[in-house]
Amino acid sequence: MIRTPDASKNSHPKEDPRAPNARGNGSQNKQANAQVNSSTNTTLKNKSSGRLRSKRSAGLERKTTGSLEPESNSRNNNGILTPKSSTNTLRNTESGSAKPTSNAPSRAVTPEPEVFKFTPVSFTEDFRHTINGRKVTSDQHRTVFNPANKQALASAPVADRAQLDEAIDSASAAFPSWAATPIEHRQAAVRKLGQLIGQFMQDFKVLLTKEQGKPIDTHSGWELGGAELWCYGISQLSLPDETILDDNERIAIARHMPLGVVAAIIPWNFPVLLLIWKIAPALVAGNTVIVKPSPFTPLCALKFVELAQQVLPPGVLSCLNGDDDMGPWLTSHPKIAKVAFTGSTATGKLVLQSAAGSLKRVTMELGGNDPAIVMPDVNPKAVAMDLFRCMFNNAGQLCAAAKRVYIHEKIYDQLRDELVAIARQAKVGDGLDPTTMVGPIQNPVQYEKVKGFIADCKANGYNFAVGGEVDLNSPGYFIPITIIDNPPDNSKIVREEPFGPIIPIMKWRDEEEVIRRANDTEYGLAATIWTNDIDRANRMSPKLDVGTVWINDFPYIHPAAPFAGHKMSGFGVENGKLGLQEYTSTHVTYRSKTVKY
């Protein structure tokens, strides 16, 4: 979902054979089923950790009303950027045995037994790769820094090519038995990963805030709570076999089969939530996964995968921290069946080129230059806070956040002044400070890029409604909340995505004109419409060439809803059944009803 600092460079590994089949893995199949069987009939209840509140649904049927959405916080005006989730528990639909390699569910729902308790690990030291269920270090290490103070936070190993090959070989060996494990058992294991996050919520919140920079309760808690919810939500999904033909002569059945080894490449802006967006559907579908976190934010991923070994068979889920070589090695490796990537459009193009050599399946969620359209019927004071959240959530380092704000000329001056007033009250600082509303830019590369946008606006004489003065003596990578007042449509700040707390606001007069301007971009990820006229918004929504439109409702997301970009914002789908299907291939069997031989 937004940016990854790694450059994907082409490499040319020696050709390797495809993953072994199940015939030679009898012992591993028994091991996999023995370990995962302890998960069967286990529901991981959604606890109210990480600001996620649960309500018990009646009966055992699935209730898909979970959500992630913003809420205001009454303490110290911190409601400016306070996400919440008002959810119903996503309930268990698992059952007993299933067809070995099908992603179709088997039989009825069973009651909920007790949850799994994980053995704690250190969250302050001993950061290592996980390969084939074992913790592994490397000769080379990289220092991870806290962006709020530029101080060393931890040392993380940097995997070499031999370690990657070992991880892929172990994932290939584990794939047949994991794919043969009934889907109900795989779903139960993913629910246990949700419980893992819930059990260690506070440890993850502190570590995430230190390595990423986001405010600990309002943002780290939201991300981790969302990751916990996603495990439950995705674990409810399956892909039933479909009878596509059934006449007097023959029957045809379509099934969805797992692909093999998946490479999950994770960005630095949401290093836990986007990790779960990839591994949860991949595991439910029956694939094994190699995780490559951003080298700027590897720590939470390393600890999560280390803990996950307590409920997953060896080789099913591995994690390797790497440098700029790791991405190309993964994306070009012949044993990788699919690449799930979130990052910049420029890097996504390189990933696609690298994956094309072996025609890998690829899902890409890339950049966005997301428009927000504010209609003339809104009350400027009433809409200002929600719009501000939409603009500056996660310090603007959010794929679907508003990057261009079009305000009707009738209310432009009033709403601009309301936004400026909020910006002047919002504290930019260390995410561990409970009064902080906007944290730092995550890394020095992105920090310099955002500074470049500010410099360009100054060089072109654009008006700064607020902000624009960067304190070069600041202890961290802090950028002041900056609003550019009505720059021209062809300006850099309007045409490109800064991915930081600097946003242009522009006037509009005619509806068709503003839709044209909103669509006048190479990107097409998301958009928001702010209005009291819902009928008008409903008419406008399909005219916006984006994957997701929010009407007065940012950033509500749900694990059952597909998320996809148009144009240069990527292709493929994450989340929902369509997202689950991305981790499978289609298999059709035709069978004659006539016995001939």
DSSP string across 412-423: HHHHHHHHHHHH
**Pair 543, 577 in one domain:** no
Are residue 459 and residue 503 in the same domain, yes or no? yes
Question: pLDDT grade, residue 19 (50/70/90)?
Answer: very low
The answer to whether residue 269 is domain-embedded is yes
In this predicted structure, the answer to whether residue 36 has a pLDDT above a threshold of 90 is: no
For residue 59, what pLDDT band results from cuts at 50, 70 and 90?
very low
Tokens at 504, concatenated: 């242009």
State whether 327 and 407 are in the same domain.
no
Of 385 and 74, more confident: 385
- Higher-confidence position of 597 and 198: 198
Residues involved in catalysis: 365
Structural domain contains residue 4? no
In a domain, 467, yes or no: yes
Is residue 470 a part of any domain in this protein? yes
Q: How would residue 129 be classed by pLDDT, with cut points 50, 70 and 90?
A: very high
* Residues 233, 286 share a domain: yes
Residue 300 lies in a domain: yes
What is the per-residue pLDDT across 217-273, written as a single tens digit (0 to 9) for each? 999 999 999 999 999 999 999 999 999 999 999 999 999 999 999 999 999 999 999
| Residue 309 domain flag | yes
Answer whether residue 69 shows pLDDT above 70.
Answer: no
Residues 390 and 472 in one domain: yes
| pLDDT tens track for 103-115 | 777 554 343 445 8
State the DSSP code for 510: -
Tens digits of residue pLDDT in 529-579: 999 999 999 999 999 999 999 999 988 899 999 999 999 999 999 999 999
Q: How confident is the model at residue 347 (pLDDT cuts 50, 70, 90)?
A: very high
pTM of the complete model = 0.84
Closest by alpha carbon to 84, among 512, 321, 430, 393? 393
Residue 194 lies in a domain: yes
What gap in Å lies between CA 295 and CA 437, rounded to an integer?
25
Together in a domain, 432 and 537:
yes
Q: Is the pLDDT of residue 354 over 70?
A: yes
Instruction: Look up residue 541 and give its DSSP letter.
Output: G
Q: CA-to-CA distance for 269 and 296, rounded, in angstroms?
A: 10
Q: How confident is the model at residue 596 (pLDDT cuts 50, 70, 90)?
A: confident
pLDDT of residue 92: 33
In this predicted structure, what is the pLDDT of residue 102? 65
Q: Are residues 359 and 478 in the same domain?
A: no
Mean pLDDT of the chain: 85
- Judge if 176 and 50 occupy the same domain: yes
Does residue 81 register a pLDDT over 50? Answer: no
Q: Decide: 189 and 283 in contact? Cβ < 8 Å.
A: yes
Per-residue pLDDT, 101: 57
Q: Which stretch of 114-123, 138-147, 159-168, 250-259 has the lowest confidence by average pLDDT?
A: 114-123
Instruction: Quote the strand ranges of 282-419, DSSP E.
Output: 288-292, 317-319, 336-342, 361-365, 371-374, 404-408
Query: Strands 371-374, 69-70: parallel, antiparallel or unpaired by DSSP?
Result: unpaired
CATH of the domain at 182: 3.40.605.10
Residues 23 and 549: their CA atoms lie apart, in Å, by 48
**Do 403 and 493 belong to one domain?**
yes
| Identity of residue 312 | L
CA dist., res. 583 & res. 186, Å (int): 14
pLDDT of residue 422: 98
**Tell me, what amino acid is at 503?**
I
Phi and psi based region of residue 58 (left: phi greater than 0; alpha: psi -120 to 50; beta: remaining):
beta
What's the CATH code of the domain at 377? 3.40.309.10
pLDDT at 104: 74
Same structural domain, 160 and 83: yes
- Supply the range of the domain harboring residue 396: 371-557
pLDDT over threshold 90, residue 25:
no
- Asked if residue 31 has pLDDT above 70, the reply is no
Structure-model confidence comparison of residues 25 and 424, the more confident one: 424
Question: If you average pLDDT over residues 38-48, what whole number do you get?
Answer: 33
264 and 375 assigned to the same domain: no
Q: How many CB atoms lie within 10 A of CB 74?
A: 9
Q: How many domains does the chain have?
A: 2
Is 565 domain-assigned? no
